[in-house]
Structure 1
Amino acid sequence: MAIETTRARPALRALLAAVLLGGAAQAAAQPATPAIEGVWKIAAPTTTLKPVAGAVPFTAEGRKAYEANRKLRAQNKIDDYDITLSRCSNPGVPRLALSPMRFKIWYRQGVVTFDYEWNRALRQINVGVPPQPDLLGQGLVPTATGKSKGHWEGDTLVSVMEGASDRTLIDDLVPHGYDLKVTERYRLLDADTLEDRITIEDPAYFTHPWEAVVTYKRQPDAIFPEDVCLDRITAHKPAFPG
C-alpha cells in the first residue's frame, strides 16, 4: 500500500497543479470586483424592445404569431398570450431587461445574480461554476429564464441564454419559439451608465439575428421593499408599475 501511495503522489500533484492553474487563469480573465455591481434602473422606460436597425425581421411563422398576439390584446384576452401580465409570471429573458423598477447586480463564487425589485424576481448567470450532471432530466424542461452561461471579456459580461419557455415574450408582444438564443453584453459606458447590448436569434421566428440596446442609470444602494405583483393584479392595477 505504501508503494502504491508513493506512486500516486505525482499524479495527485499534477492534478492539483492543473486545478490551481485553471483557477488562476479564470481569475485573470475576469475582474475581481466587477464594476457593473450595484443598483440600476432603466434609463428610458419602455415596453418594446426596438431593433437597432430596421424592424423586427419576422419569418412568416413569426409574423403570424405576432399578429395573433396583437388581436388578442385588442380583445383584452391577455391570459391567452401574456401570462406575465395576467398571472405575474416571470417575464423571462430578454423581457426582464425592460423592467421599469430597480434591480441589483452582484457577483459571488462564479455566479452573477440579478435581484429585481419587481416581484423580487431573480436571474443568475453562471460564469465560473462547472456544469452539474442533469440526473433528473431537468434540462429538458424549458423555464422562464432558461439557462444563462457567461464569461468576462475584460470588464464586459457576455451572457448566452438558451432553453427558455415559449410562453414568455421578447417584449410586450413579440413572440419566440423553443430555439430562442439571447446573447447579452453588459458593459459600463461611464461610472453611472450600464449598457446591455442584446442579440436575438430564433430561426423559426426571425429571418436573421437582430440587435437591441437598453441602458440603465446607477441608483443609490438600498434594500428593496417587498413587492407582490398579484396584489396589483387583484387591485386591477398594472402588473408593471410605472
Structure 2
Amino acid sequence: MTRPVCGLLVAALLLPLIVLAQPTSATTQFQTPWGDPDLRGIWDYRTMTPLQRPSKLADKAVFTEEEAAAYQEAELEGRADYDALPTVHAKFWLDYGTELTPDRRTSLIIDPPDGRIPARTANAQARARVRAERRERTHSIQDRSITERCILGFNAGPPMNPGAYNNNLLFLQIPGMVVLHNEMVHEVRVVPLGGRDHLPDSLRQIRGDSRGYWDGPTLVIETTNFTDQTSFLGSGAELHLVERFTRVDEGTLHYEYTVTDPASFERPWSAAMPMTRTEGPLFEFACHEGNYGLTNILSAARAEERRTQ
C-alpha cells in the first residue's frame, strides 16, 4: 500500500471519531426532522425585570448579585402588601415572576442604553389623550376596550411582554410555517416562512401581518400592516416590528424585538428577555365566563346617571 493511500485510509478511520469529538452547538443539537432550528415547546416569559429601567437607577444597566437579591426581596415584600388589599383582582391568578432575568439587567429594554422607551412624538401624545378620554366612557359596550371585552390580551403581542398572568407561549412548527399560541386569550399567530410577500398596504389587521425567515439559528418575524387602532405602548399604524427567537439551550429561548415607528417614537427601541421551557399542558383561558366586570361597569354608570337626574 502506498503512503498516500495509507494516509487516506487512516483519515477515513479517524473521521468519525473527530466528528464525535466536536462540541455540539445549539444550532446542530436542536433541529426539527426537516432540518429547521427546533423552537417547539411551551415557553414561560414571566420575570420580575421591568420593561423600563426605574429612573432612580439612572445609568445602572446591570445589578450586582447583592443588589439583585435586595431588589427581589423588596419587590416581593411590596407585592405581599399589595396582595393583602381587598380590591386586588383574582390574586391567585397573578404570576408576575419572582426573579430578575439571569443576567440581572435592570430593564428588558436594551436600546436605548438608558433602558427607557424613547420620547413619543406629538402625534402619539395626541392619540394617547384620545384613548385616555375613551377609557372614561361608559355609554355602551363599544366604549370599553377590547381587552376588557375579552377579545385580545394585554401581553400576548406582538410583541410579547411579561404581564400579571398568562405568560406562556406554545410554539409550534411545520415545514414552511410556525404558529405562536399565547396562553393569554388564546391569541394565535400563524406565520408563513420563506419570503412570502406581506399583504397589500391597504389591508390592515389589528395584530398586523407577520412573515418569517431563518437567519442562521434565529427565527426572524417581521410584522407590518397594523391598524390605527393598534397601540403598543403608544405605537400606531406605521409600526414595523422585528422579533428574533433563538434557541440557546435545552431550557432557554432568547426573545428580542425591535420597535420602529417614526410617527410615534423619536427613535427605534429594542427589548430582550429569556423564555424558559416549561411542562404543559397549556390550560384553557376563560375570560367571558364569570366576567361580571363589564356588566357592572355599565350598570353602575346607569345608576350614577339616575342618581344625578
Alpha-carbon displacement from aligned partner over 1:171-220 (angstroms, at most 9, x marks no partner): xxx22221111001111343212222111011111111111123321101
Corresponding residue to 1:85 among 135, 138, 148: 148
2:272 maps to 1:213? yes
1:35–1:57: structure 2 CA closer, same or farther, 3 Å change rule?
Answer: farther
- Give yes or no for contact 2:230–2:237 (8 Å, CA) kept in 1: no
The separation in 2 between residues aligned to 1:45 and 1:123, in whole angstroms, is 26
1:201–1:43: structure 2 CA closer, same or farther, 3 Å change rule?
Answer: same
- SS of 1:119 mapped into structure 2: helix
Residue 59 of structure 2: aligned partner: none
Residue 105 of structure 2: aligned partner: none
Residue 75 of structure 2: aligned partner: none
2:175 maps to 1:116? no
Q: Which amino acid aligns with 2:170?
A: K
**Greater RCO, CA 8 A, separation 6+:** 1
2:293 maps to 1:227? no
Deviation (angstroms), 1:140: 2.6
The separation in 1 between residues aligned to 2:261 and 2:202, in whole angstroms, is 18
2:232 maps to 1:162? no
Aligned length: 199
The separation in 1 between residues aligned to 2:195 and 2:127, in whole angstroms, is 37
Deviation (angstroms), 1:80: 5.2
1:200–1:129: structure 2 CA closer, same or farther, 3 Å change rule?
Answer: closer
2:39 maps to 1:42? no
Residue 158 of structure 2: aligned partner: 94
Normalising by structure 2, what TM-score?
0.54
2:253 maps to 1:198? no
Residue 94 of structure 2: aligned partner: none
Unaligned runs of at least 5 residues, structure 1: 1-29, 237-242
- SS of 2:255 mapped into structure 1: strand
The separation in 1 between residues aligned to 2:253 and 2:146, in whole angstroms, is 29
Counting strand residues as a fraction of each chain, which structure ranks higher? 1
Normalising by structure 1, what TM-score?
0.67
Alignment RMSD (CA, Å): 3.4
Residue 205 of structure 2: aligned partner: 143
Residue 172 of structure 2: aligned partner: 106
The separation in 1 between residues aligned to 2:151 and 2:188, in whole angstroms, is 14
1:160–1:145: structure 2 CA closer, same or farther, 3 Å change rule?
Answer: same
Unaligned runs of at least 5 residues, structure 2: 1-30, 53-107, 295-309
Corresponding residue to 2:242 among 183, 190, 197: 183
Greater Cα radius of gyration, structure 1 or 2? 2
Q: Which moved more, 1:80-89 or 1:146-155?
A: 80-89
Residue 51 of structure 1: aligned partner: 109
